[in-house]
Amino acid sequence: MDDKRRLILDQALALVDERGLAAMSMRAVAERVGLTSMALYPYVGGKDALLDGLVDLLHQELGTTLEEGDGDWRRRLHALGRAVRRLAYAHPGAFPLLLNRSAAGASASWLTAALRGILHDAGVPGDRTPRLSRMICAFLLGYATGEVTGGLPAAPRGEVAEREFEADLADLVRLVEVAVRAT
């Protein structure tokens, strides 16, 4: 079965959620699944590959969470930004992996594709969308990571942080509008 691999990855993510990334040893994951650590290797292939699997899982969850609305691009950009931030708070231990590990997997390029689609619909000229989408991606991942790890200095907390993030998203919209007008 290949859903065994999925089961292992799910349990690994749950473990990281509950006890942090440092607590995720092969042995601890195996115990959660009811196996020995050596039994995991055929399914997930070593710890490094397991971590890549978690990155993939997070990207998938982002895609699932996000209601792929066909509303106007501003609303979709807001929705994407909020989804990224929610993902960070849902998995504070695992989320930093997104920016720290190579985004080679197919589900990783989903984010880029979604972002480019939004910019396209906003009217951003085609030669500008790759760079602008990478910029926004870097901001969203960097911001959410910093919020969840405390890596960004002088970060607010709770409801204030939420309002500030909304204002940031509005600034991103403005950045896109400037790119459109500069055509």
Binding residues (CB under 7 A) for DNA: these are 1, 4, 23-28, 30, 35-39, 41-42, 46-48
Contact 88/58 with Cβ under 8 angstroms? no
Q: How many angstroms from the chain centroid is the CA of residue 162? A: 17
Chosen from DNA, a copy of itself, none, partner binding at 151 (C-beta under 5 to 8 Å by type): a copy of itself
Q: Is 27 a binder of a copy of itself (CB under 8 A)?
A: no
Nearer to DNA, 23 or 170 (CB): 23
Q: Is 173 a binder of a copy of itself (CB under 8 A)?
A: no
Which position has the token pair 């799910």?
10
Nearer to DNA, 4 or 82 (CB): 4
Which position has the token pair 């500069």?
182
For residues 102 to 141, the per-residue mask of contacts with a copy of itself, x marking binding by CB under 8 A and - elsewhere, is xxx---xx-xx-----------------xxx-xx-xxxxx
Count of CA atoms in the C-beta half-sphere (13 A) of 176: 28
Chosen from DNA, a copy of itself, none, partner binding at 8 (C-beta under 5 to 8 Å by type): none
Q: Is 53 a binder of a copy of itself (CB under 8 A)?
A: no
CA distances from 38 to 19, 99, 179 (A): 22, 29, 53
Q: How large is the C-alpha radius of gyration of the chain?
A: 18
